[in-house]
Amino acid sequence: MATTAEELREEVRRRYAESARGVTEGSSCCGSGSSCSAEFGEALYDAEQRSELPEAATLASLGCGNPTAVAELREGETVLDLGSGGGIDVILSARRVGATGTAYGLDMTDEMLALAQENARAAGVGNAHFLKGVIEQIPLPANSVDVVISNCVINLSTDKPAVLTEIARVLKPGGRIGISDVVAEDRLSPDERAARGSYVGCIAGALSRSEYEAGLEAAGFTEIGVEFTHEVADGMHGAIVKAVKTA
């Protein structure tokens, strides 16, 4: 059982590599420890959005929400998806921001990056770019992004303050976030969260609502909102997280 931060990260990497290989080989999208229920994955995208995507992109979706539906993307913007997986949110974002905009996807898993690049080619999207790296050290310059999105990935980080600080660094002043994540009710202790599901299953590592709000405020965000959308376990919810970087 993984205990150190590096062991947890490697466990997450293995799980998503397994998921990417499953899509490539035509088997189930779900790796060990994941959920294929209506609370996770492609079911959270409407039929119109799914029709814009290659089948492999929807099969590779392991998220807990639909960040492109809440990020209010505009023509010409630069958007960054943290933990971009099979590329579903990057492809949708690239279409929303148009030819004058740019959509970046950041992922640490070679298998997912290869799958995402193939999906972007199949979708005919030329303004999507995929980067290898970790979300605690984003390989983009400061003040270079208008919008940061993420889909059920920040809960997987073992250093969430670093992630929130990095998001603030790469965002332009007045830039915003539109994140889907699993968030715990404030009544649950870390041990109680862990009892409800595994780390790689997006449960044990989840922040509580007040922890998320405090972390964003400490990183320099205002207009912070954490809205529960659907329950994924007792006291654990898919949530929409919004905030604006202080101008």
Task: Check: pTM over 0.75? Answer yes or no.
Answer: yes
- In the chain, the percentage of residues whose pLDDT exceeds 90 is 58
Q: Are 73 and 48 in contact (CB under 8 A)?
A: no
Total Cβ atoms within 10 A of residue 94: 26
Contact of 134 with 108, CB cutoff 8 Å: yes
Q: Please report where in the chains the tokens 């405090």 appear, as a residue.
A: 214
Which residues, 6+ apart, have CB-to-CB distance to 52 below 8 Å?
A: 91, 92, 95, 123
How many angstroms separate the CA atoms of 15 and 109, rounded? Answer: 10
Asked if residue 71 lies in contact with residue 149, where contact means CB atoms within 8 angstroms, the answer is yes
Domains of the chain in start order, with CATH, are 5-245 (3.40.50.150)
SS3 151: strand
Report pLDDT for 63. 54
Residue 8: both structure tokens together? 């947890």
Alpha-carbon distance values, 150 to 4, 87, 99, 125 (Å)? 24, 11, 22, 19
| 225 vs 223: CA distance, rounded Å | 7
Instruction: Indicate if the pLDDT at residue 206 is higher than 50.
Output: yes
Q: How many residues can be counted in the chain?
A: 247
Question: What is the per-residue pLDDT across 125-171, written as a single tens digit (0 to 9) for each?
Answer: 999 999 999 999 999 999 999 999 998 899 989 899 999 999 999 99
Q: How many C-beta atoms lie closer than 10 Å to residue 199's C-beta?
A: 21
Tokens of 102: 């740019």
Does residue 197 have a pLDDT over 90?
A: no
| Predicted pLDDT at 22 | 61
Are 88 and 45 contacting, i.e. CB atoms less than 8 angstroms apart?
Answer: yes
State pLDDT tens for residues 59-74: 444 556 677 777 889 9
Burial 136-157 (b: 16+ CB within 10 A, else e): bebebeeebbbbbbbbbbbbbb
